Structure formats: structure tokens, C-alpha cells
Structure 1
């Protein structure tokens, strides 16, 4: 609360500002926590509003930490009464796929308390479905109550959550009056009237996913103190897409791609990895791990054979190659301070087509929520935006293969 008091003293007295924070109240022997918003005006913290609906589904577990607010949140400014809702508070007002079905409706309570404009302060994580559902929900609230609705959403990455912003203002008829950009911060000044500033949003799910992954990678790296990234480049589409995202997020001069071929690596994969690195302008190194692999064969082979014959589906030596690669790029990470970005996609992780301590080693699994089919679509979007083949055409058209044994295909 001391930080809020300092902020209040520094702000212009005539400016009314809503600031999110964690409020504390002492009740007997207990200290209760509230997800809260402070109204700062006239050099003081004038009011404190507590969030009323606490989600406990999906990535949310607020009821475990916070208490619920108990009253409608309204204040007056410039002759207008504003109703304040905090994120989930607004998701229980309009029937539809996003309705949360609580026993209370904070939006309706604000309207009953005389609110003429409805405000929603949110940290609503990005999903592809929300691209259409979230604005439709707020437009529906505006139409239902015949009042302008202003939704202000957080921007930035927080570990595995990405907040896209896309703050917006909707008129009483549900029409879009103003909108801030997606995936970037902006101070948006609007009048409560039609035809304000409406920023463009990504034109497709592929473009939106690409922007989201760039933002998430950038914020994760910087918040964890990394300025450099290293990626194992196989010549395949997964590592190619991760390299493109890293180059956008951190700058190509801060990204190192490492090819680690063995006797099973095809010549076209080596060419594709190098072509990608040159197109992106990232640093590129080839570290031949086949001698290390051969030493594993020589040292472990006889002992394993003495324990018993391999089964028909034995993948021991395939996993050994993956673990040598993981050790190699982690050594670079340790020596030079790079963040190791893993390249597995959602399809592989879902069925276990990956190697523990091998290709799963790293600090951030950039595309782990993208199914393989969608990886190809986002990769095509990278090339479309570039107007050329940043990701080599052969990478997009050849049959995918881990290249860990002769004539191997992923299909």
C-alpha cells in the first residue's frame, strides 16, 4: 500500500487512475488477501475495489489465495458514474460459451448501482478461440445494458501464459469504438464516441499465434535474465520455426543455431539447416557428434548386449543420440549464458515422441502448444510475411524424420 501512496502523490491531482494490486485486510488472527483495484485521485488512494468472482478452472486458482469482494464497484468522475469489474467479474453476464455461471453478476450489480460506463480491468490469457469470443462477449455486455464497455487487458508473457492486450471500447449498441494493438503496449486515449482509433489485429490464427510466441519468448528470456538463445537446428520444420521466433524475439544477432549431425543425418537436412541460418542472419555452428555417439556404442554396447538382446521396438541408440545433442547444447548454454530453446511440438509431446534429457532439455518449450499440422501453417505464415523462403521450401515439403536410424520417417 505504501507504493500506491507514493504513486498517488506523484500523479496529477485531477487525474483518476485505476491501479491493480494485492490488498490485505487483517481480521482477527487472519490476514486476508484480495485481488484488488485502487482508485487513485487527488493525491490519495480514494477507494479500493475487490474482485468478486474468483475462477478456479483451467490456469486459474484464485480462490486458493484470495477472498471475494462483496459489493458493487462504482465511482464518479467528470459527471459520469463508472462501474468497475475485474477480469472474471465480467464473464458471467452474457449467455454463451464463455459464461462462467456464478451465483452473482457483478456487471448487472454495477448497472443497478447507476453505472453509466462499464470498465473491466483484466489479465486474460491469450488463446486462439478468445480472438473472437472475448470481443463478442464484451460487445454483448454493451448491447445488453445499453452502455459503453471499456476492457483493458494486460500485455506480456509470464512463463507459459501470454497476455495479448487487444484492449477495446464498445458502444452501447455493441459496435467497436476503439481498439489497442495486440501483443504490444500502447497508451490509447479515446473519447466515448464512435469512430475512435481502431488498431488492426492479426489477420489469421497463424499470424496471431506467431505474434504471441514472439512476445512470450521475448518476455520469458528477458524476465529470466537471458539475452542470448541457442537452438539445435535439425533441418526440420520444428527447429526452423523456433529459430524464426527467437530471431524475431531477441534479434538474429543474439541467436545461435547448432547443427549436430550423425551418420544418419541426411545431406539435405544439413543444407536446410544452414540455409535457414543464413536467411535469418543468425550465428551457425556445426558440431559433429558422431564420434561421441561411436564411443557410446563402443563403451555401452557390449555391456547392454551382456544383459540381454534388444527388443523389436528398441530405441536405445536413438535416444542416446538425442541425449548427446541435449548435452551439447546445454554445454553451450552453461558456458556462454544462452537460453536453450527446445523445439518439440504438441503432437510429439502428447504421444511421448521425444527423449527425456535429450530434445526435452532446455529452458523454454516454445512451440509445445502447437500441433504438428499447425506448426506447418505458422511456418508458412513466417514465409508469407517475409515474402520469401526464410524457412527453406524443402523443409516444408519433405517427409519429417528424426534421422536417428536408417530410412526413418516420423509418419
Structure 2
């Protein structure tokens, strides 16, 4: 038996009821037009995955249920899996409704909840126990089955692994195979992280082989709720082979991946397997939900491992496509009129400006000059305004680098002289303090005020344009608090906060000479040569002092190594020092000791700063954002005893 099925990616927004419903309808229309008779939508696609504590509001799950009822007529002629929260027995469950030809058959409930890293599903949902089935009472007095269900629709058995269900050791798919599942649907909300696409391919293809079923994987797409980016990867596999895969990323509202599979191939594979242990008698299976449906006849297909565009890219390419998609959705969903960047001429602000340009080019290449009506912009100068803000310690190198880069990108560029404002603050506070301020005794206050006097002007420019101000702090700086609160941290979004400085500098060199593929061709920014040639510096001390970031802290390569060992791997100061001696054995031991003490001291002292940073994007499994990944006490012992014993 051949079955034409489809996996769907959706770019949803939490609690956007009309918009979410319209996008579901559009995707179903496209799937129907393509001849698909079985359609898998993503996890929690009606509400949006990122509703946070709005899931606790009865209005949220009640409204989602009304949307489901409104959508049922749109499923006529198809079998459709639709993700939504379901309230049952005074508990909320992450469910997937199955509708066949306009009728609701039942709700499959998620068994394994994602509760690590950025995920907090156990805060809102309860896991459904294995092997349990119940009846969900509806408002009109009817009831539908809910729980650990296998659906038999028109002789085709359909089971579920909902997102995290496929990431655990004891996958539900094994029991579904014993119960005779022909198709396993995986509606997911799987966030982007470097290298994650390959992991998904492996469990989808291996699941199709081990479970003897066609395996269909759907996902969300875009920046749904602010911090998390979804790459929209869609996968279909059978008999251990990847049959089809969609491109990742993209600026469309939805994407449909349709393919024909031969269910008899999976049935034959299980019949041949000496280790297949069918559950008998099948008719006694209490979790089986039957529904009538006439599957349309589909022409036979040639089923072997088809060549698929896996979309494997280097980390620089992945970073570019993920962050540009994140920026595009953030600016349109926040209803902002573009971006503003305080362009210092250094690496971080240059990266932020370049990412906005790449976002503009990629969106226009896919959606056309009108951007599909998603954002309003005639040319790039309307999208990005940059400003170089000089004090008496600013030099011609950074001023020139900022101007050259802004011109090359096509941004609206301004130069603001804030030296007089800076000087007035220093004089005013010196008089109030009762002594003249000097660099020998008042180094940090004199540095910080320079960063802070730049904030009001750049905020005002952002307000005048109703634009989104981008802050430019990276993860390395966040780890040690090498940033001025209400200065260079000012902004509504921090697109670089998930990336370390060592990688960021590599990306800038790559962008200067190689660049990402956009619209079928490589895009480079040669003007970055003026930035990449510089040694990173805050440029807050007088020029004769030769201030550099790495001089103030330590080499960024070392800083990022310590951060990974101490925060990601939870190593103690003594263990970190031992690792440093191995990895950087060519450095003096006294220097390694100094760097270790500096990192742990600054890390503990600056948690309050990390709590106040603007929202950023989650890009890997080393995020320092205390709201989505790395929680740490604001007040602590600061490793004082551990550092004294080194």
C-alpha cells in the first residue's frame, strides 16, 4: 500500500490566535493540493510552543480547543495530527489531536517531557504514563480517547513519538512497533543548536529501521517567541533510509514536505526480523482507536535511499542563517521599524551590523522586494541606522572602520561627538565627590562613564525611528562581566550573547573572504578588513595606555576554554587549573593561576549583570542566559575558599 504523506513546518507566534490558525489552514491547503492524505503538524502549533506561564491560564487551552474545533472541517479528505495543550483530570498535557475526514478521533499525549537546558515543560505539563488510556469529556457531553494511543485509520496504524519521546533511551516507538504501527509521527518543537540537524537525522532514520515504520518528523520554523530559533527541518524516513528532507531555515510562514511511502515495505521488514515480538492478541489492545477512512490510491513509487540535500553546513554558515532568521522574525513580531547599532568600529558592533545586512539580503532573496508584506522597507538605509560615538579617547582607526563598514553595508550612518557630555559628567561628579578624578585612582568609573554617555543618544535615535536597538555584548564578555551596564549593554535584543568572542572573530574573517550562500551565491563583506586587522579594545582609556580586551582579561581562547570547563562541565577551580596546564602548557604556571583566579572571581561577581542583559538567541548548549540555560546565585561565596587553596 502506498501512502502520500506530508510533514509541515510552521512559523507560529505564542497566543496569536488568528495568525496561527491562518497559517495552519494555509499549510493544510498546500498539503491537500499536493495530494497528501496524512499530514503531521508541529508540537503545540495551535498555541505556540513558547507560551511560558500563559499555559497556566484556562483561557489558553480553552481557546486552543475552540481553534481545533474550527479547524476540523479543514481536515476533510485527510488525516491530520495537530499539536495543542489539553486539560484533563485537573492537569495539563502536551497532546496531539488526530482528525480524520473532519472528525476528531482522539488525543495522543506526550510521555517524556523536555526539562533540561532551555526547556521547562514539566513546569506546565504532566507526563502521560505508559500504557494508560482514558476518556476526555467534551463540553457537549461526548468523549474522545486520550493517552497512550495507537490509531488504526482505514487499516493503517499510526503512532506517535512527540518530540522528546524520540530523544530518550526507552523510546515509545519500540512498543508501537510491537503493536503494528505502520507510520510513526513525530510532531516536534526542536530548537536550533549547532550540529543538531545530524542528530535528528540519525534518530529518525534509525527509528524507521528499528520500528519497521515510515517515520515522519515535523518541526517549528523561525523565531517563535524571542530567544529560541527553530530551523524548520522536516524529515521522512523508511527502512533505515532517509527518503526526503526539507531545506532548513527560511522566511516563509510554512513549509510542506510531501513524499510517497510504501507501507508494505515496512510490514515486510518486520516480518523478516527474527527479533520482532508482536503484541498478541492485537484485537485486545485497549489503546487502539479505530476510525474509518478511505485512503486514496497512490501510484507505486521506487523506494530506495533517495539522494537528499542534507543541508549540512559549517558552523559559520549555520550561525549566519540562524541569527538572520531570528532577527527577521524578532523585528517583525515586535513591530519595530528596523534596527539601530552603536557602531564602534570594533568586532562586536560590526558583526551585529553585518548580520542585519545579511538578514535583509536573505529575506529579499526568498520573499522578493516586498518581503511578502512581512516588513516594510524600500532600501537597506531604512532598515539599519548606525552611529559612531566618539570621546576624547576614540581614535581615527575605529572611526574610519565604522564609516567604511556602514557605507559598504548601505546603512544610514551618523557620527556623534559625545566628548563634551563625557567631560561635563566627569567635572560635575568630581566636584560633587570633592576631588579631581584621575586614571590612577578612578580607572573603572572613568571608563564606565564613557560607555554610559553613549547610551541616551543611541536610545533616542532608536526611539525616533521606532527601531530595535541591538546591544553588542558577546558570551565571553558576559562570563566575566566585561561590559558596562546601561552603556554598551543598552538595547532590546542581544544577538551575539550566545556566541563567544573567539568564534565571533573567526566568523568575521570568514565573512570578509568567504561568506554565506544567499540567493545561490556567496556574499562577502570585504570592508570588514578594517575591523579584522584590529586588536579588540574597549577604547575607554587614554590611547597611550594601549588598552586591549585581552590585556584587561586574558586571551579570549583561554577565557572561552575556562568558561567551558567551569560552567558547562562544572569543574572546580583546581580542576580547571589542571586542565589549563595541559591545554596551555607553554604559558607560565603563575599566569595560568592568575587567569583561573580572575575568571572565577569575575564570574561570581557579575551574575547580576547577566540577569540584566537584553534577550539573546540560544545557539548551542553553553548559553549563559540565566532565564533559559545557566542559573547561578546572584550572591555567593565567590569560590573564595577554593581559590585561596590553589
TM over 0.5: yes
> Over aligned residue pairs, what C-alpha RMSD do you find?
2.2
* CA distance, structure 2, for counterparts of residue 285 and residue 200 of structure 1: 43
**Distance apart, 1:201 and its partner CA:** 1.4
**Which of 247, 255, 260 is residue 186 of structure 1 equivalent to?**
255
Contact 1:147 1:171 in 2 (8 A): yes
Partner residue, 1:165: 232
Partner residue, 1:101: none
Deviates more, 1:138-147 or 1:214-223: 138-147
Partner residue, 2:79: 16
Partner residue, 1:266: 395
**Distance apart, 1:194 and its partner CA:** 3.8
* CA distance, structure 1, for counterparts of residue 152 and residue 345 of structure 2: 60
**Which of 77, 82, 88 is residue 158 of structure 2 equivalent to?**
82
Higher-Rg structure is 2
Alpha-carbon distance change, 190 to 272 in structure 1, aligned in 2, over 3 angstroms: same
Contact 1:318 1:404 in 2 (8 A): yes
Say whether 1:63 aligns with 2:106: no
**Which of 204, 207, 210 is residue 138 of structure 1 equivalent to?**
204
Q: Deviations over 1:210-265 (max 9, x none)?
A: 11111111112222221311011011111111111122335633111111111111
Contact 1:190 1:197 in 2 (8 A): no
Q: Indicate the structure whose relative CO is greater, using CA pairs within 8 Å and at least 6 residues apart.
A: 2
Q: Deviations over 1:84-133 (max 9, x none)?
A: 1110111114xxxxxxxxxx532222222211222211101111141332
Deviates more, 1:182-191 or 1:209-218: 182-191
**Which of 451, 473, 487 is residue 322 of structure 1 equivalent to?**
451
* CA distance, structure 2, for counterparts of residue 391 and residue 137 of structure 1: 43
Deviates more, 1:348-357 or 1:125-134: 125-134
**Which of 395, 400, 406 is residue 536 of structure 2 equivalent to?**
400
Alpha-carbon distance change, 55 to 45 in structure 1, aligned in 2, over 3 angstroms: same
Alpha-carbon distance change, 187 to 381 in structure 1, aligned in 2, over 3 angstroms: farther
**Distance apart, 1:308 and its partner CA:** 8.8
* CA distance, structure 1, for counterparts of residue 111 and residue 420 of structure 2: 62
Say whether 1:235 aligns with 2:345: yes
SS at match of 2:390: coil
**Distance apart, 1:306 and its partner CA:** 3.6
* CA distance, structure 1, for counterparts of residue 307 and residue 82 of structure 2: 23
**Which of 178, 194, 205 is residue 112 of structure 1 equivalent to?**
178
* CA distance, structure 1, for counterparts of residue 74 and residue 344 of structure 2: 53
* CA distance, structure 2, for counterparts of residue 360 and residue 81 of structure 1: 54
**Which of 444, 469, 486 is residue 357 of structure 1 equivalent to?**
486
Gaps in structure 1 of 5+ consecutive residues = 94-103
* CA distance, structure 2, for counterparts of residue 319 and residue 202 of structure 1: 43
**Which of 382, 407, 421 is residue 292 of structure 1 equivalent to?**
421
Alpha-carbon distance change, 309 to 282 in structure 1, aligned in 2, over 3 angstroms: closer
**Which of 279, 285, 290 is residue 408 of structure 2 equivalent to?**
279
SS at match of 2:391: coil
Contact 1:148 1:170 in 2 (8 A): yes
Contact 2:351 2:508 in 1 (8 A): yes
**Distance apart, 1:305 and its partner CA:** 4.8
**Which of 177, 192, 196 is residue 243 of structure 2 equivalent to?**
177
SS at match of 1:365: coil
Gaps in structure 2 of 5+ consecutive residues = 1-64, 132-147, 262-302, 362-379, 516-521, 551-646
* CA distance, structure 2, for counterparts of residue 5 and residue 237 of structure 1: 52
Say whether 1:221 aligns with 2:331: yes
Partner residue, 2:358: 248
**Distance apart, 1:5 and its partner CA:** 1.1
* CA distance, structure 1, for counterparts of residue 434 and residue 526 of structure 2: 45
TM-score if structure 1 supplies the norm length? Answer: 0.90
SS at match of 2:115: coil
SS at match of 2:424: helix
Q: Deviations over 1:332-383 (max 9, x none)?
A: 2223211111111111111110011111111111010110111122223433
- Equivalenced residue count is 395
TM-score if structure 2 supplies the norm length? Answer: 0.58
Q: Deviations over 1:27-82 (max 9, x none)?
A: 3xxx3211111112222222211111112211111112112223433223464322
* CA distance, structure 2, for counterparts of residue 194 and residue 290 of structure 1: 69
Say whether 1:304 aligns with 2:433: yes
Contact 2:341 2:470 in 1 (8 A): yes
Contact 2:197 2:233 in 1 (8 A): no
SS at match of 1:63: helix
Contact 2:249 2:322 in 1 (8 A): yes
Alpha-carbon distance change, 250 to 387 in structure 1, aligned in 2, over 3 angstroms: closer
**Which of 78, 82, 97 is residue 38 of structure 1 equivalent to?**
97
**Which of 45, 50, 61 is residue 109 of structure 2 equivalent to?**
50
